[in-house]
A and B are shown apart, each in its own frame.
Chain A
């Protein structure tokens, strides 16, 4: 298992490098730049600025400078806001974004798994139909619409939770944004879990387990859940990265202090430094998540370890 983990970590390195390269060039080859303001800058100032950020060097040289800094843990400066940098942005906003996404992730995954299981065990009975309905709502309503509906109903009409904003960080402010983020995720997880659980419950080995008289609870807990999780786990990695990116938009809608606000402003201003740095940060997170998923996979399905 340890050897397998090490192999997987090593094989992630070239993938990370390739991904960084692609991000870098796509962003830099796009038209427009950080200093195309409404008011043209004097040529001398512009030249100074470009020299300061190495934008006067050939692109390939810039690329190596960027990689060099990255290897030293420097994700680069902002090119629009003096003295601001990606590291600073991460320090200010990322803990919040991560908290929001992880809270939604944990709740949604748990709810999704349990709901999927209940639906599978009660296949084609009322709990199953209720789930189908709730899942459908989560999947078909886009998050901005869901956000608006929840804000109106629970924020404005019922006044149970604040409709937006962030005052001294009470958890009440997180309820609606977490719901908006978590719902579609929980919906997908429960659908996956229901399907794979139904499949597993029909397998010969579950029949064997039942034939041993060990009881419904052990049959489910020991024999069915672990193999049923396999297809679900492969969705968790991508699922969390959707939540992390989805969180950016939800923060904006609810006026929350994550990196969403900075990222969206930076993208509009073509602030290469911030956009590239954030993108690469996300990429690393996604790679790490995939790695974790693969390791969990190897634990769930012993056959994987020996390949």
Chain B
């Protein structure tokens, strides 16, 4: 039985606006075990980034998180920043959506890496730099000693993302959150990067959360998957199960709008309609305006996320067969 490294319970994120608030994430629950890769997928604005930023204590000033994110017996949610600093960067690390702007342009790469080890491992500066260079080599950066002296703008996008990966893995964290780590990179580099993630997290026993809106990235990399819609998880389960037998109409729609995966359909079909506005979610199931399988109950009542056996969960009232012909 692998160890549980993170347990998230009823995690919600709200942002205060001038005279209202938006709920970017609601009642999220999941666990992560050692070495596991969890994919979090959903359209833009579904709350993927905010959920994990809240765990890292990195919400914008108007954001508030409630619920629990238990790292062992420590709740990271709502912890004050200076206490949180003992864990972030050490036990839980994050790689961000945009490698081009996520490194400090005015500091050398080695400075940005070494400070992590100085803080969390108590290394002196020289030792930290040597360890940083080793890690750069490990993530496949050629001439790591030279690159360590470079400023970020002297490196290509792929190289910068490797630096970000090296930075996040310096302390061999228990959990690594990678927020769309490959979106900004070209396709060949994307594949290399995914391999790198996979092998390094296996080596270190790190659990990886892979946030993406590209199901093509999930296939062949992730173990489990959580599909988000309008701030809530709507389906969870093993990647293979969800790919071959999706049980939520939104998951089905996502699959059919992804190249390479939509093999069962002759053509590629984007999901009809627009992603919902979080401020004006429809009554009942948030997905109902775009759903081909909806019936009366969906318009009135919100389906809760419920187990359906084999470690799967879905938030949908429809129990019949989900077939793509019906959607089209």
Contacts and interface: CB of A to CB of B under 8 A. Distances in A.
B189 interface: no
Interface string A205-219: 111111111111010
B37 interface: no
Interface in B73-96: 81-82, 84-90, 93-94, 96
A146 to B, nearest CB: 36
Interface string B92-134: 0110101001111111000100011001100000000000000
B120 to A, nearest CB: 7
Contacts of B58: 207, 210-211
B119 A212 contact: yes
Secondary structure class of chain A's binding surface, majority of residues: helix
A213 B104 contact: no
A226 B106 CA distance: 7
Nearest to B170: A212
Interface in A192-236: 203-216, 218, 222-223, 226-227
Contact of B115 (A203, A211, A222, A300): A222
Contact of A205 (B61, B88, B90, B104): B104
Contact of A208 (B61, B87, B102): B102
A214 B119 CA distance: 6
Contact of B102 (A205, A215, A301): A205
B120 A213 contact: yes
Contacts of A207: 58, 96, 102
Contacts of A204: 96, 98, 101-102
B25 interface: no
B101 A203 contact: yes
A227 B151 contact: no
Contacts of A210: 57-58, 81, 88
A301 B106 contact: yes
B78 to A, nearest CB: 16
A302 interface: yes
Contact of A302 (B88, B101, B105, B164): B105
Contacts of A203: 101
A298 to B, nearest CB: 11
A302 B105 CA distance: 8
A39 interface: no
Given A218-B115, A303-B153, A211 B104 contact: no
B89 A214 contact: yes
Interface in B7-21: none
B85 A213 contact: yes
Among A204, A206, A226, the most chain B Cβ lie within 10 Å of the Cβ of A204
A216 B96 CA distance: 20
Contacts of A302: 105-106, 151, 153
A304 to B, nearest CB: 11
Nearest to B167: A212
Contacts of B93: 211-212
Among B105, B111, B120, the most chain A Cβ lie within 10 Å of the Cβ of B105
B134 to A, nearest CB: 18
B6 interface: no
Nearest to B153: A303
A214 B151 contact: no
Among B84, B103, B104, the most chain A Cβ lie within 10 Å of the Cβ of B104
Nearest to A226: B106
Nearest to B152: A205
Interface string A93-133: 00000000000000000000000000000010000000000
B56 interface: yes
Contacts of B96: 204, 207-208, 211
3 shortest interchain CB distances as A-B pairs: A213-B89, A212-B89, A213-B85
Given A211-B56, A212-B167, A214-B119, 7 more contacts: A205-B104, A209-B104, A210-B81, A210-B88, A214-B89, A216-B85, A222-B115
27 contacts: A204-B96, A204-B98, A204-B101, A206-B104, A207-B58, A207-B96, A207-B102, A209-B104, A210-B88, A211-B58, A211-B88, A212-B93, A212-B167, A213-B120, A214-B115, A216-B82, A216-B85, A218-B115, A222-B107, A222-B111, A226-B106, A227-B104, A227-B105, A300-B106, A301-B106, A302-B105, A303-B153
